[in-house]
Amino acid sequence: MTASDFDKIFSPYDPGDGKVRVRFAPSPTGQLHIGGVRTAIYNWAFARRNGGTFILRIDDTDPERSTEANTRAILDAMKWIGMDWDEGPEVGGPCEPYFQTQRAHIYQAALEKMKANGSVYPCFCSAEELAAKREANQKSAGYTGYDRTCRSLSPEEAQARIDAGESHVWRVKVPEDRGDIVFEDAIYGTCTFHADIMDDFIVMRSDGTPTYNFTTAVDDAIMGITHIIRGDDHLSNTPRQILVYEALGMKVPMFAHLSMILGPDGKRLSKRHGATSVQAFREAGYLPEAMMNYLSLLGWSLDGETTIFSLETLCNSFSIDRISRNPAIFDETKLAWVNSVYIKEMGAKRFVELAAPYLVSAGLTTAEEIESNRGWYEEIYPLVRERIKVMPEVVDAVAFLFRGTEVEFDEKSVAKVLGKEGVPEVIDSIIEVLGDDGLAWNAEAIEEAMRALLEKLGKKPKEVFQVARVALTGSMVSPPLFESIALLSREAVLARLESAKPIAQATFEAKQA
Ligand code: GLU
């Protein structure tokens, strides 16, 4: 291939409109984690805010740990949480392909350009030689990188050794006179790295595979990325990537390095803190909009006080200058609270959709039954909307509605409420009221009749309503009583009350003994 062939392959994309182009570039070596998805959200929201382009690129260069299943899981997690991408897998785009493993020819072309302008050189030092050099180096202060033995080989000698098939890597020739590498990070401010102590780092390994700093800089350059928003674990890679940009004669983008995310104990968020992947939170019953809302606040703030806002607000307001340099704390309790706010607001239709899988897998009902009886299921929503923080909690909260004539009693509730003197009589009078055929079977009518009973018996609400609650639901803690009764059938209610009577009697007697 000629130099012009390589130029054709290495042809940077520039839409020419000066608009923002950002990318999220996950390595598919595992699930999408909290830190990664936060980076994705910030890039996505930044693009949306600025009418720019959000690119998804898959950095799958680690052949051992990158899998298709992981890529799939990352795409699914991103979509689930509410992100879309303008270029990347599934949607394509002008910079195809978006998988690094399919871009080897581009890295090769970039390397050829760098060879031609003398910004890289081949290094023939063996692993053993390098190890020995490193050891010797450790004893001296200052520069501790590769000792640049091969940098002084003449081009002819280097070429002869390559032609003879000698194994070699390609290293960047850090320019002698480069001085400090200084860049303005949008979050960290001015960052200065001393080029004179920088290693002549490898861009192409001896097996022909490119390194992270090389592929990333080449792709970011060629894809016309204007802003690189990523974790600050990459801060120290930035000067190397800048050298690649310079060697290729490309404009260096803006950088914004995000502080890491810590657990509530102040330590870096990791598996020790429990679930950290988006998938795990999805399975735990968190809502995507709650996740998006909460995660966007891990380092950014809308106005310093608002904690609940929509996707639209995020996209209309996101700006890098509201990103904090301080590490953010991931607190699942706070996330659960945000989730509960969204549950309160989601409405009955969505509730049924989201609750259905949990109710079905707990064996309480079937998908067909839900389908044919939607109205009844929607009526459950007001009963639980303020009582559950995550969707799976719906099972315990409403299981009593599904047990027909059976009640699963909580011992403490039975002892405390049913074990009192006179309870069987109270239950009898409740049966009388609720068994009246003339009583309309809805919450309002039931409440009215029960309050009238209270008056008639001259008892406190607790003495009657709490008895009904435990007799019908098995527990002192349950959703609102009258609405719950209305959702049960009259037959089930009467049968449950009947069977609570002997239990109340026995509990009372046991207490006396
Ligand atoms: N694949 C790299 C990572 O996941 C991308 C880093 C970057 O954004 O440059 O860490």
Q: What are the boundaries of each domain within the chain?
A: 271-343, 346-402, 411-512
Angle, CA of 267, 268 and 274, to the nearest 5°: 90
Nearest CA to ligand 1 atom 9: 216
Ligand 1 geometric centre to CA of 25 (Å): 5
* Distance separating alpha carbons of residues 440 and 438, to the nearest angstrom: 6
Ligand 1 geometric centre to CA of 424 (Å): 68
CB count within 10 Å of CB 333 equals 8
Q: Which atom of ligand 1 is nearest to the CA of 241?
A: 9
Query: Look-up: residue for tokens 């509201």?
Result: 322
Three-state DSSP class for 208?
A: coil
Question: DSSP string spanning 487-502?
Answer: HS-HHHHHHHHHHHHH
Reported confidence tier of residue 141, pLDDT bands at 50, 70, 90: low
Task: Name the packing angle between helices 490-512 and 423-434 (round to 10°).
Answer: 170
Fold designation for 271-343: Glutamyl-tRNA Synthetase; domain 2 (1.10.1160)
Question: DSSP string spanning 68-79?
Answer: HHHHHHHHHHHH
Ligand 1 geometric centre to CA of 56 (Å): 11
Q: Which atom of ligand 1 is nearest to the CA of 237?
A: 9
* Distance separating alpha carbons of residues 479 and 473, to the nearest angstrom: 9
Given a cut of 90, whether residue 203 has pLDDT beyond it is yes
23-32 residue pLDDT tens: 999 999 999 9
Class of domain 411-512: mainly alpha
- For residue 513, the model assigns a pLDDT of 84
Query: Look-up: residue for tokens 């003449």?
Result: 154
Q: Is 19 a catalytic residue?
A: no
Helix, strand, coil share of the chain (percent; to 5): 50, 10, 35
* Distance separating alpha carbons of residues 71 and 81, to the nearest angstrom: 16
354-413 residue pLDDT tens: 999 999 999 999 999 999 999 999 999 999 999 999 999 999 999 999 999 999 999 999
Nearest CA to ligand 1 atom 5: 25
* Distance separating alpha carbons of residues 170 and 101, to the nearest angstrom: 19
Catalytic-labelled residue, pool 8, 79, 133, 271: 271
Nearest CA to ligand 1 atom 4: 26
Ligand 1 geometric centre to CA of 77 (Å): 17
Its pTM stands at 0.93
For a ligand 1 pocket test, name from 21, 23, 27, 70 the mutation site with the most ligand atoms within 8 angstroms of its C-beta. Answer: 27
Given a cut of 80, whether residue 143 has pLDDT beyond it is no
Which residues approach ligand 1 with their CB closer than 6 A?
25-27, 59, 216, 230, 234
Fold designation for 346-402: Helicase, Ruva Protein; domain 3 (1.10.8)
CA 341 to chain centre: 18
Query: Look-up: residue for tokens 């879309």?
Result: 84
Q: Is 355 exposed, middle or buried (0-12, 13-18, 19+ CB in 10 A)?
A: buried
